[in-house]
Amino acid sequence: MTAQTLTKDAPIAAVEKSALSIIDYSLAYKTANGLIPALQNIDLTIPKGKTVGLVGESGSGKSSMAWSIMRYLPSNAVETGGAIRLAGEELLDYTPYQMMDIRGRRMSMVFQDPSTSLNPTIKLGEQIAEVLMRHRGLTKAQAWAEAEAALGRTGITRPKEMLQRFPHEASGGEKQRVVIATAFACEPELIIFDEPTTALDILTARQILDLFNQLREETNVSALYISHDLGLVSRVVDRVSVIHKGIIVESGSVQEVFRRPKADYTRQLIGAVPDPDRWVGVDAPGEPKTLLRIDKVGVRYGAPTKLQAMFWPTDAETVGFWGAKDISIDVRKGELLGVVGESGSGKSTIAKVLAGLQDFEGKLDFDGKAITSRNAIDRAYRRRVQIVFQHPDASLNPRHRIGTIIARPLKLYGIVPKHEIKARVAELLEMVRLPASYADRLPHQLSGGEKQRVAIARAFAAEPELVICDEVTAALDVSVQAAVAELLVKLQRNTGAACVFITHDLNLIRQLAHRIAVMHHGKLVDFFDRVDARSVDRDPYAKALLDAVPVHAGEPEA
Amino acid sequence: MRNFFSTPTAIVGTALLSVVCFAAIFGPWIAPYDPQAFDPLNRLQGPSPAHWFGTDQFGRDLLSRILNGAPSTVTFGVGATLIGVGIGSIIGVVAGVSGGWADSTIMRILDGLLAVPDLLFTLLIVTIFGGGMEHAMLAVAIAFAPGMARIARSAVLSVRTRDYVRAAVARGESGFYIVGAEVLPNALSPIVVEATIRVSFAIMIGATLGFLGLGAQPPSTEWGLMVAEARQFMFRNPWCVAVPGLSIAIAALGFNLFGDALRDSLDPKRSHG
Amino acid sequence: MSWGYLIRRLLAVFMVLAIVTFAVFAITTMLPGNAAIMILGEYATPDAVAALEKQLHLDQSWYMQYYSWVSGILHGDFGTSLRLSLPVTQVVGEAFANSALLAATALVVVTITAIPLGALAAIKRGTAMDLGLGLFSYLGTALPEFVTATLLLVFFAAPQQGIFPAGGFVAPWESLAGFGAHVVLPAATLGLVLMAHISRQVRSEMSEVLHSDYIRAARLKGLTEKRVIRRHALPNSLAPAVAVISLDIGYLLGGIIVVEEIFAWPGLGRLLIYALENRDLPVIQAVTLLLATVYALSNLLSDIVIALLDPRVRYA
């Protein structure tokens, strides 16, 4: 498809001049069950100085594509045909030894998680310098000096100091800058970015994205940008290819693909991208009635023991840190309250306090009853307040059948008589759109999205008045995320339960929440009604967060 | 547990274990000779059609003695491990579940006991109890308990922080339900794996005690004791030390390989490692 | 490495040793038989027994006995051997030196061979060399020392054509060659098990490291395989290997008991068995405490080495 498009608007020489061209490439993996195709008839061209996005969900084959280009395939990989050309040179013909010279020098890679892709026992400086010594034949002193300059270009303020640090002494953003500096160090023709911001916090991700755009302009490098996030990709690339089950289902300019998607799958993906301006939540409760209020709640991790407090009272003040401090929020009946923040902001700490999993200081007021410690939380409260966790793999006991899992709250709280439990479980499964036959299955036989539905069914089985959703969509694929969010809203509409929805996804929360609380470093920095999200009196941090999130480019202007 | 037999470790381990268990169950009945019958004319012979593994210093048939000793060897290993795992797991689970002050006290004591080498610990206890198979078994069991307690505790701790356990806590389940239905079943597999591997150590320590004269007493057919008794004659007929020695190794190897294979199949992450 | 870390670890070692003294004392006082009767013989007069009991503080309550024992240790006095009528410090001291020679020889030889072998097996996974090492290591872990020792004797120490002596000890400062000849078989016996264990651990650590993201990243930077292995992979699999070696020292200390007994090596193990047979309480206590101390200190040492190898641990 891409090849055709190109031949249409340029002579064949253009294909040869492009930085990377992949022509009719197929890859399969040899397994016990025979050959499993991973990539089929891939055509992809990256013109010189351009960035092409490759978008797909997990298992789509987008990572296999990166390994194929880098010629770093597992031993069970079988290439069943096609060509991969770097500036017209056929990479498939090169020996592993020749590839060693090309990797890092003519093409390089930026990885998803900088905390695992850097060697933990080697100083950051050496990890940049070694590439320069290897490929540009610099001496150690020259390489370190060059590394300092390279790191400086990524916007690190004191690069010389950073070079002397070990990975664990740097933040996620700093580490990713080191990885990027390494990738750019030898001025390669092509850089593959494999989800470079997925493991980072919102604001850091935004900075890395800006850095990417800046470096791209400065160096005129060609790049392949791999991501699952269509909205994000639309902000950084010139052309985009959508990959699904190893096949490129659509390619084109960003505008084209977004405005006039041809493939069903692309339409589905675009539909799943949360759009902050498209409201999908339940109607706001007519007359606001407070269900739960937390008053100056704080959680201190590593709090001093009684002994410490007795003997070293001055130390005791500084020991440990506040996971959350002085948080006061109220939740109204029937509403969806969004709590947003970056990792470590304390948003999950609040979820744990509400679910009675965490000792706290301060006061919790539920339906007119004051609770001042975790031990004072009784079973009645626990029935009325349910929690759904982030990782569906971890939140279901692997040894219990789905039926047993969902029936447990029914039995524990005596919600329905014994003989009706089975029927009620079937009803609940139906409610979360799973077949009743799933009751006999074990968790590992379900997909991630299905497991999360089971966890949600378990929570609603207790007929709660408040459901705490702790990043319930974060571990799921984009298209599944949208479905789970939609399901939650439907259940809320049917049962009238209130919901505290904790997330880092600002686009999603603006679609769902009536009110939004923003947390930062354990403190509540802002708390506003959804309609006021863009009003001028937003806290600067809240504003920065909202600005950092890429809203996809191709949407029709409203 | 899928594809358990996909690795050579599992196949060899299961095969060896089958042979050992077969000998342990049927050994005394299929032995061709009386294991205690002296035959002064055929002393210290090498393998022959009449005596497949040869004869010892009294002309007793080695194959028959090995087969006769198999039940007690396997019983010793399995018995000592079961008791040790039982005691250790209870301590470990109590420590892991209760946490806090009780946990750290128990762990400090265990650390102290673990600083004494296993064999030394066993020797001390055997000396307290006096020799003999039963006492040796109890001694090995007691020596195993601290190590098992530590493994059981860490298994419980790793399960305790899983989300499904936290979900149960958030639901307001009783502590009894949480431990019995959510924690224990999921903490069991590392304990079972470790126990299987430990049977091989128990067999080896049991044999060592027999060899040192602190376990089984003559004229028992315990394999370690057989090596000790035949040592004086080892240069005249190496078979009489090699046969019981290698039998111990095969029994230990069987449990060891089987345990390793079990671990790999229960933990998919390790199977690639 | 921060001083706080070191101090915390040191405190933990003292804690462990305090518990060990208590356990050792409890176990040894539980040993059957009255020490005074054991020394004087069954036909001793009650007066003589009572006198000796007083001399040995056996008439005191157990905590007074414990107190005087521990305070003795703190002053470097482990009491007097009941059988040998010599200061325990002297008896144990000599034996300790001999045992240390044997254990150190085995450990050094094993460490310098097992680590490269394990690493090589991980790099050349699935080759004949890897399989061979795997087989060897399984055999090594399944052979008790007394079997290995006996088999080694059969092969290498037969009376007529023996290559090595069947037992005994020559101090290296008397004759280095003599020491060498005598140390080979016992050290090989201990070494086989250690070698099996350490090489297997290094292999598994190394394979894990070789599958890590940062090794993939290093290769994708185009670094030569030599640099990837030597600079990136090996150092990171070394820290866990050190941890394993220190754990194996506990095993080694148990192993010397049997090996010394078989090869008539005049070390702690042999002394311990002699003391156990003769209920020589002060010697049993001293040897057990000494072995536990060595083990605890070797764990401390390994923690320090690991902290030096791995910058992440230093500030933990």
* Cis preceding linkage at B219, omega within 30: yes
| Closest CA of chain C from B30, distance in Å | 26
Write down the residue that tokens 């930077």 correspond to: C221
The pair phi, psi for residue A222, each rounded to 5°, is -90, 145
Closest partner CB to C236 (pick from A117, A121, A135): A121
Cβ neighbour number for residue C52 with a 10 Å cutoff: 18
The pair phi, psi for residue A390, each rounded to 5°, is -70, -50
pLDDT grade for C303, boundaries at 50, 70 and 90: confident
What number is the average pLDDT over the span A167-193?
92
pLDDT grade for C87, boundaries at 50, 70 and 90: confident
pLDDT grade for B269, boundaries at 50, 70 and 90: very low
| Closest CA of chain B from A105, distance in Å | 31
ipTM of the complex: 0.84
The pair phi, psi for residue A483, each rounded to 5°, is -65, -40
Tell whether the model's pLDDT for residue A161 goes beyond 60. yes
What number is the average pLDDT over the span A169-184?
92
Binding-face residues of C in 208-237 toward A, CB within 8 A: 212-214, 216-225, 227, 231-232, 235-236
Are B60 and B36 in contact by the 8 Å Cβ rule? The answer is yes
Cβ neighbour number for residue A145 with a 10 Å cutoff: 16
Q: Tell how strand A190-194 and strand A107-110 pair up.
A: parallel
Cβ neighbour number for residue A157 with a 10 Å cutoff: 7
Residues 6+ apart with CB under 8 A from C130: C121, C122, C124, C203
Write down the residue that tokens 């160090």 correspond to: A185
Identify all chain A residues contacting C310, using CB atoms and an 8 Å cutoff. 120-121
The pair phi, psi for residue A295, each rounded to 5°, is -125, 115
For residue A387, what are the β-bridge partners? A468
What number is the average pLDDT over the span A339-356?
90
| Closest CA of chain C from B107, distance in Å | 10
C216/A130 CB distance under 8 A: no
CA–CA distances in Å: residue A339 to residues A146, A331, A366: 44, 11, 18
Q: Which two tokens stand for residue A225?
A: 């940008």
3-state secondary structure of A522: coil
CA–CA distances in Å: residue B247 to residues B8, B73, C185: 21, 10, 22
B116/C18 CB distance under 8 A: no
Secondary structure of B18-35 in HEC code, one letter for each residue: HHHHHHHHHHHHHCCCCC
Are A172 and A115 in contact by the 8 Å Cβ rule? The answer is yes
Closest partner CB to B182 (pick from A357, A394, A397): A397
Res B104: pLDDT: 86
The pair phi, psi for residue C27, each rounded to 5°, is -65, -45
Chain B residue closest to C159 (CA)? B235
Residues 6+ apart with CB under 8 A from A316: A304, A308, A309
Tell whether the model's pLDDT for residue A441 goes beyond 90. yes
Residue B247 contacts C where some CB pair is shorter than 8 Å: no
Res A155: pLDDT: 87
Rounded distance between C-alpha atoms, residue C245 and residue C107, angstroms: 9
Q: Which two tokens stand for residue C103?
A: 């254990």
Say what the pTM is: 0.82
Residue C125 contacts A where some CB pair is shorter than 8 Å: no
Tell whether the model's pLDDT for residue A11 goes beyond 50. no
Diameter over CA atoms, chain A? 82
Q: Tell how strand A290-301 and strand A89-90 pair up.
A: unpaired
Are A355 and A468 in contact by the 8 Å Cβ rule? The answer is yes
Best CA proximity match to A165, nearest among C111, C116, C286, C312: C312
Chain A residue closest to B169 (CA)? A357
Please calculate the CA angle B158-B159-B162 and round it to the nearest 5 degrees.
100
| Closest CA of chain C from A121, distance in Å | 6
Mean pLDDT across chain A, nearest whole number?
A: 87
B167/A387 CB distance under 8 A: yes
For residue A244, what are the β-bridge partners? A247
| Closest CA of chain A from C288, distance in Å | 35
Residue A116 contacts C where some CB pair is shorter than 8 Å: yes
Best CA proximity match to A494, nearest among A290, A334, A280, A279: A334
Are A383 and B172 in contact by the 8 Å Cβ rule? The answer is yes
Mean pLDDT across chain B, nearest whole number?
A: 85
Please calculate the CA angle A305-A308-A312 and round it to the nearest 5 degrees.
155
What number is the average pLDDT over the span C86-112?
90
pLDDT grade for B218, boundaries at 50, 70 and 90: confident
For residue A89, what are the β-bridge partners? A86
Res A557: pLDDT: 37
Residue B166 contacts A where some CB pair is shorter than 8 Å: yes
| Closest CA of chain C from B20, distance in Å | 14
Closest partner CB to C214 (pick from A102, A109, A119): A119
Least reliable range by pLDDT among A86-90, A95-99, A544-548, C162-166: C162-166
For the segment B132-175, what is each residue's pLDDT rounded down to a tens digit?
888 889 999 999 999 999 889 988 888 888 899 999 999 999 88
Q: Which of A69, A94, A121, A128 to mutate to test the interface with C (most CBs of C within 10 A)?
A: A121
Rounded distance between C-alpha atoms, residue A414 and residue A406, angstroms: 13
Best CA proximity match to B66, nearest among B55, B58, B76, B77: B55
Closest partner CB to B170 (pick from A355, A400, A408): A355
Res A10: pLDDT: 44
Helices (runs of H) and strands (runs of E) counted in chain A = 24, 20
Neighbours of chain C (3+ CB pairs under 8 A): A, B
Identify all chain B residues contacting C138, using CB atoms and an 8 Å cutoff. 253, 256-257
Which H helix or E strand runs over A526? strand A523-529
Q: Which two tokens stand for residue A240?
A: 């985009």
For the segment C250-272, what is each residue's pLDDT rounded down to a tens digit?
888 888 999 998 998 999 999 99
Tell whether the model's pLDDT for residue A5 goes beyond 50. no
| Closest CA of chain B from A503, distance in Å | 17
In chain B, what are the helix, strand and coil shares in percent, each to the nearest 5?
75, 0, 20
| Closest CA of chain A from B191, distance in Å | 16
pLDDT grade for C25, boundaries at 50, 70 and 90: confident
For residue B229, what are the β-bridge partners? none
Residue type, A448: G
Binding-face residues of C in 111-170 toward B, CB within 8 A: 138-139, 141-147, 150-151, 153-154, 158-159
C131 DSSP assignment: H
C221/A119 CB distance under 8 A: no
pLDDT grade for A232, boundaries at 50, 70 and 90: confident
Rounded distance between C-alpha atoms, residue A336 and residue A497, angstroms: 9
CA–CA distances in Å: residue B83 to residues B77, B143, B222, C305: 10, 11, 20, 37
Closest partner CB to B124 (pick from C17, C27, C251): C27
B232 DSSP assignment: G
Which H helix or E strand runs over C272? helix C268-277
CA–CA distances in Å: residue C227 to residues A121, A133, C235: 15, 12, 11
Residues 6+ apart with CB under 8 A from B100: none
Residue C241 contacts A where some CB pair is shorter than 8 Å: no
Q: Which of B163, B169, B266 to mutate to test the interface with A (most CBs of A within 10 A)?
A: B163
Write down the residue that tokens 């400065």 correspond to: A218
Tell whether the model's pLDDT for residue A518 goes beyond 70. yes
Q: Which of C208, C210, C212, C221 to mutate to test the interface with A (most CBs of A within 10 A)?
A: C221
Report the length, in residues, of chain C: 316
Rounded distance between C-alpha atoms, residue B229 and residue B217, angstroms: 10
CA–CA distances in Å: residue C171 to residues A124, C100, C177, C181, C191: 50, 12, 10, 11, 20
Residue C313 contacts A where some CB pair is shorter than 8 Å: no
Best CA proximity match to A170, nearest among A118, A111, A108, A104: A118
Q: Which of C147, C280, C283 to mutate to test the interface with B (most CBs of B within 10 A)?
A: C147
Identify all chain C residues contacting A102, using CB atoms and an 8 Å cutoff. 222
